[in-house]
Amino acid sequence: MTSLAVLQQAITAHTTRAAEKLRRHGLVASHMTAFFHTNVFNNTPRDSSSRTARLSPPSNATTALVQTALACAAKAWKGNREGNGFAYTKAGVMLDDLVPEELAPVDHFAHEQAKSGKLSAALDAVNDRWGRKTLILASEGFRQSFATKADIRSPRYTTRLADLPVVRA
């Protein structure tokens, strides 16, 4: 990833997945960290950046988490929007201070909280019924140039039963 736009697509994809997992487990997050770094195993210029933000009120809503993650990534980005001379190989988000949704403090002045919860529930319902990534946020992009090269991965015989070869006699 050499541009801010591609980095933001990757951050959005990871944040969306993290929000889905939070909702599945009935949790909300109070802090979020967005990070990205270069490959430490080759001779290219190295860089590592991250920013942390507090979520007030704690949330598991996709739109709120993505908005916060993109703001963190933009603040951590060094250089102009087109690039900064680094080729980032890993990006992601970390969610901290996880608490059950029913125990989270409520902000009575946050009107958008109910709307974003319904929107996230609708996203989950469509993606559960029609398959993962059926509906995505536009900031995730449609061409994921940041995606890993899973097509060259070796079979995972020891960790996935589906990858075991079937022998018939």
The separation between the first and the last C-alpha atoms of the chain, rounded to the nearest angstrom, is: 48
Q: Which two tokens stand for residue 102?
A: 């029913």
Q: What is the pLDDT of residues 77-116, one digit of tens each?
A: 887 667 777 888 899 999 999 999 888 777 766 655 556 7
Average the pLDDT over 112-135 and give the result: 76
Does residue 125 lie in a domain region? yes
Residue 49 is assigned to a structural domain of this protein: yes
Flag whether 154 is in a domain: yes
Q: What's the mean pLDDT in 126-154? A: 74
Average pLDDT over residues 149-160: 74
Q: Is the pLDDT of residue 23 over 70?
A: yes
Question: Residue 63: which of 143, 9, 139 has the closest Cα?
Answer: 139
117 lies in some domain = yes
**One-letter amino acid of 148:** T
45 upstream amide cis, omega within 30 of 0: no
Burial (Cβ within 10 Å: 0-12, 13-18, ≥19) of residue 66: buried
* Position 26 in a domain: yes
Q: At CA 119, angle to CA 26 and CA 57, rounded to 5?
A: 55
Q: Does a structural domain hold residue 168?
A: no
Does 135 have pLDDT greater than 80?
Answer: no
Q: Of 19-23, 49-53, 75-79, 80-84, where does mean pLDDT reach its minimum?
A: 80-84
Q: Is residue 45 part of a domain?
A: yes
Q: Would 169 be classed as within a structural domain?
A: no
**Domain extent for 150:** 4-163
Q: Which are the contacts of 39, defined by CB distance < 8 A and separation ≥ 6? A: 87, 89
CATH number for the domain spanning 76: value is 3.30.1490.100
Q: Give how many domains the chain has, as a whole number.
A: 1
For residue 15, give the nearest of 128, 98, 124, 93 by alpha carbon: 93
Query: Would you give the DSSP letter of residue 168?
Result: -
**DSSP E strands, the chain:** 27-38, 48-59, 88-96, 99-100
Would you say 48 and 90 are in contact if contact means Cβ atoms under 8 Å apart? no
pTM of the predicted structure, to 2 decimals: 0.74
